[in-house]
Amino acid sequence: GEYMQFATTFKEFLKVGAVNCREQRESCSGASITDFPALRWFPEDKNAPPEVFEGTINAKNLGKWASATMPDHSVIVEDRNQLRRWLDDAKGPAVLLFTDKSTAPPMWKALSREFKGRASLGVVPKCDKTGVFKTPLQREYDVRVPGVIRLDALEEIGKVAENFNFQMKKDVLHLWIMKTIAMRKQAGPQATFREWSKQRYEAGDCGPNDSQLCFLWFKAGADPKVEDATRQLAHKYRTDPMKMMWANVEMSPQLLEAFDLEGSDASDFFVAFRPKRGRFKVHVGDLTFPALDSFVDSVLNS
């Protein structure tokens, strides 16, 4: 009845089973089951104790409980700042779901677990299906709800690389994400252009023990032309042993002092930095692609 209804809905996302405790007493006593019927959730960690379901057993209650208990490796994305941070941290293809739910639905949670470390799944929650009261990102992307898009992490923030135009089913989405992972592998090394934040520095990016060469764009506010030039550089030199990063010096003025730039009249700077040696060189001249390209080339070959 109710349990079968729940199992039919969730069988794509979970392993749902039943145990006859008369015949399999060991399994039941091992899960501390004394009253019947009883429900347990067994986590991936075999050493962790099972979760106990307490409540009336019906399909609706079980669905809510299972959905809340499922591990979720997707990221909630509600505005452009969160979108940028998510794309900066993205591993593999960046795939974004627009949903009218307040959290990731079970299907998305299941996919996020399957693709953990291979693809980055994001969720734009609380979208309006009618399209009257759109959330900021829903308005910007103008997708049907529920809808899925793949974003290009290197292009200007949040450029759509591909729309998912198929049935919103788990197996179809699984194949589509698998295809994008395969295409990325075929394309070779991926370019990255990330924010040089305190967390990244503490994690080792361009930190005291980083032996790679770092090229840093220190910016004050937005400058689309310089941003485009640095993204082109990140793409061109994606196979070289170097990092291309940016930082906002209005938010982190101490960076100007660290690189002896506090006395300069310029607002933006491009710096070559060897963190392990503590040495750096500041680019002098225009912040155009040809000029920056020439600077990067000369530093790499010196």
Helix (H, G, I), strand (E, B) or coil at 105: coil
Name the DSSP class of 50. P
β-sheet bridge partners, residue 232: none
What are phi and psi for residue 145, nearest 5 degrees? -110, 125
My answer on whether 181 and 199 are in the same domain is no
Same domain for 93 and 182?
Answer: yes
- Residue 48 is classified by DSSP as S
Q: Cis before residue 106, ω within 30 degrees of 0?
A: no
Q: Are residues 42 and 12 located together in one domain of the fold?
A: yes
**Same domain? 265 vs 207:** yes
Q: Please, what's the b/e burial string for 10-36 (b: 16 or more CB within 10 A of its CB; e: otherwise)?
A: beebbeeeeeebeeeeeebeebebeee
- Indicate whether 233 and 270 sit together in one domain: yes
Largest separation between any pair of C-alpha atoms in the chain: 82
What predicted TM-score, i.e. pTM, was given to this entire model?
0.73
What pLDDT, on the 0 to 100 scale, is given for residue 275? 94
Domain that holds residue 221: 194-300
State the sign of the Cα–Cα–Cα–Cα dihedral 116, 117, 120, 126.
positive
Q: Where are the beta strands (DSSP E) in 142-257?
A: 147-152, 159-163, 194-195, 213-219, 242-248
Looking at residue 29, what is its pLDDT? 79
Kindly state whether residues 79 and 182 are assigned to the same domain: yes
Say which CATH number the domain at 40 has.
Answer: 3.40.30.10
Q: What is the pLDDT of residue 45?
A: 87
Among 47, 69, 91, residue at a domain's last position: 69
Rounded Cα gap, residues 249 and 24, in angstroms: 65
Length of the chain: 302
pLDDT score of 24:
85
**Which residues fall within 8 angstroms of residue 129, CB to CB, at 6 or more apart?**
100, 145
pLDDT of 31 reads: 74
Scored b (16 or more CB within 10 A) or e, 128-157 reads eeeeeebbebbeebebebbbbbbbebbeee
* pLDDT of 280: 96
Write down the residue that tokens 């589509």 correspond to.
176
Verify that 101 and 62 share a domain, yes or no: no
- Domain shared by 79 and 65, yes or no: no
User: Is residue 210 exposed (0-12), middle (13-18) or buried (19+ Cβ within 10 Å)?
Assistant: middle
> Over the Cα atoms of the chain, what is R_g?
25
- Quick one: 54 and 93 in the same domain? no
Q: What is the pLDDT of residue 295?
A: 97
Q: Is the domain of 275 the same as that of 210?
A: yes
- List the pLDDT tens digit at each of the 302 positions of the chain: 889 999 999 999 899 998 888 888 887 877 778 788 888 898 888 888 888 888 888 999 999 999 999 999 999 999 988 998 898 888 889 999 999 999 999 999 999 999 999 999 999 999 999 888 899 999 999 899 999 999 987 666 678 989 999 999 999 999 999 999 998 887 777 778 888 988 888 889 999 999 999 999 999 887 889 988 998 999 899 888 899 999 999 888 999 999 999 888 888 999 999 999 999 999 999 999 999 999 999 999 98
Q: Among 165, 187, 209, which residue terminates a domain?
A: 187
Domain count, the chain: 3
Check whether residue 106 and residue 136 sit in a common domain: yes
The domain boundary residue, chosen from 128, 152, 187: 187
The pLDDT of residue 126 is: 96
Residues 120 and 181 both lie in one domain: yes
